[in-house]
Amino acid sequence: MHPFFFTWSAQQNAQPLDLAGGKGSWFWDTQGNWWLDLAALVYQVNAGHGHTTIVEAIKAQADALCVAAPAAVYPAKTALAEKLLALAPDGFDRVFFTLGGAEANENALKMARLVTGRHKLISRYRSYHGATMGALTLSGDYRRPPLEPGLAGVVHAMDCYCDRCPFGQQLATCHTECAQQIVDLLDLEGPESVAAVFLEPVPGANGVLVPPDDYWPRIREACNRHGTLLVADEVLTGFGRTGKWFAFEHFGAVPDMITLGKAVTGGYGVLGAVLVHERVSTHFDDNVLLGGLTNYAHPLGIAAALAAIEVYESEDLITRAATLAPVFGAHLDQLRRSHGSRVPYTRSIGLLGAMELDVDADSWTRFTRALRDERVLTHPRGSDRSVVLSPPLCITEDELAEGFARIDRALAQC
């Protein structure tokens, strides 16, 4: 037994990742084995492993200023806030820094309640917003029920799961009933009771559920009508994962708050953030913003984020993700065609994809064991026997081909 806990696991069943170092789309373990990373570890390593630009920026910041209080002002903090706001749509004018994505959602939740004076919140059943209690209550997946009761006032809606529509529709007959349910919930819960709707633009860890084109605009219009805030959880999808800086940019609607984490630092530092539109931020000019922890906006996380964004821009990684998207999607589709009924559905947007398997428990076990034997890192989900893929944005076409060849061999073990 290790002298520490592994997350999301019974300790005797944990399968720890033996990690010693990495470069680009690859990492190696302590035995010297090289692994191809089609997961970006936990969706955060968008700039790739071992990037010296980010590492050197952290070192320089440590030499200049290594500790700070949340109320501190220093040049890198100001520079990062200005940079993030420049990436956001017009009208966003303030940044609230946090320790990570879950706390970004926690603080967006607090702001929504403080600004509107309302307590109810709407999210979805296949969402994941983080592991803190407020974020976990917003989440709809298997991690929530064992820890209930959570926050009062959270209402869950069904998902934009087009391959297995919860409303029984086919694409040819779809009227975006998934969006309409949220519109109806805003009416049913009371016109002045819902503070905010929290949505991942594309639910990622729970299956890469790409919404219909009119999904976001319909919910935006309903939120406007009710005075309800719309929060885009970009913790997983932000910073190029879908081929744009932020995934909501695909769908023609602007949220009131944007929550960030993971790839904001490329995984090289501890940081999250809430980007806040002026229609929300002005409330706190005269009202107390109740939030903050000791290490918010820690200088090393700030430095990592500034450097990561520099890498995304200088190496044009956002465009690269968009350019590689059809190649990535074609590889997924080829797996579906090659393995027939065992892979009934595949989905992707940018460099974020998922495939569903229709196999029994023994076959699933053989498959996941074969993935490890092939030394390719993915996100297998035993709860519904699916696999989510999210390679670093620096991956090459040859590396993508190699990764999918390894997955193909693993599927043959089913």
Residue 206: which pLDDT band, with cuts at 50, 70 and 90?
Answer: very high
Mean pLDDT of the 187-200 span = 94
CA distances from 96 to 101, 198, 282, 305 (A): 12, 17, 13, 14
**Band of residue 173 on the pLDDT scale cut at 50, 70, 90:** confident
pLDDT cut 90: percent of the chain above it = 89
Does the structure show a pLDDT above 90 at 8? no
Contact 306/266 with Cβ under 8 angstroms? no
C-alpha–C-alpha distance, residues 341 and 17, integer Å: 31
What pLDDT digit, counting tens, does each position of 67-82 carry?
999 999 999 999 999 9
Return mean pLDDT, the chain.
96
DSSP 167-185: T---GGG---HHHHHHHHH
Q: Residue 175: what pLDDT?
A: 86
User: Which tens digits make up the pLDDT trace of 293-351?
Assistant: 999 999 999 999 999 999 999 999 999 999 999 999 999 999 999 999 999 999 999 99
- pLDDT at residue 144, rounded to an integer: 92
SS3 for 25?
A: coil
Cα torsion angle, 92, 96, 97, 99, sign = negative
Q: Please tell me the predicted confidence (pLDDT) of residue 13.
A: 86
What per-residue confidence (pLDDT) applies to 174?
87
Residue 15 pLDDT: 86
pLDDT at residue 169, rounded to an integer:
80
Q: Is the pLDDT of residue 168 over 90?
A: no
Distances (CA, A) of 288 to 94, 110, 176: 15, 11, 39
* Contact call for residues 388 and 208 (beta carbons, < 8 A): yes
**What is the pLDDT, as a whole number, of residue 147?**
85
In this predicted structure, what is the pLDDT of residue 191?
76
For 240, the token pair is 């190029």
Cβ atoms of 18 and 29 closer than 8 Å: yes
Of residues 165 and 329, which shows the higher confidence score?
A: 329
Mean pLDDT of 263-289: 98
Q: Where are the alpha helices (DSSP H) in 65-191?
A: 75-87, 101-116, 133-138, 177-188
Which domains are delineated in the chain?
A: 16-47+317-411 (3.90.1150.10), 53-314 (3.40.640.10)
| Cβ–Cβ < 8 Å for 80, 298 | no
Res 294: pLDDT: 93
- How far is Cα 268 from Cα 58, in angstroms, rounded to an integer? 9
pLDDT of residue 170: 78
Is residue 99 within 8 A of residue 293, CB to CB? The reply is: yes
pLDDT digits (tens, 9 = 90+) for 55-67: 999 999 999 999 9
pLDDT single digits (tens) 218-272: 999 999 999 999 999 999 999 999 999 999 999 999 999 999 999 999 999 999 9
Quote the tokens at residue 299.
């200088």
Residue 284: is its pLDDT beyond 90? yes
C-alpha span between 296 and 71 (Å, rounded) = 9
Query: Among positive and negative, which fits the CA dihedral 368, 51, 260, 68?
Result: positive
Indicate the pTM of the whole model.
0.96
Picking from 218-222, 272-276, 379-383, which range would have the lowest pLDDT averaged per residue? Answer: 379-383
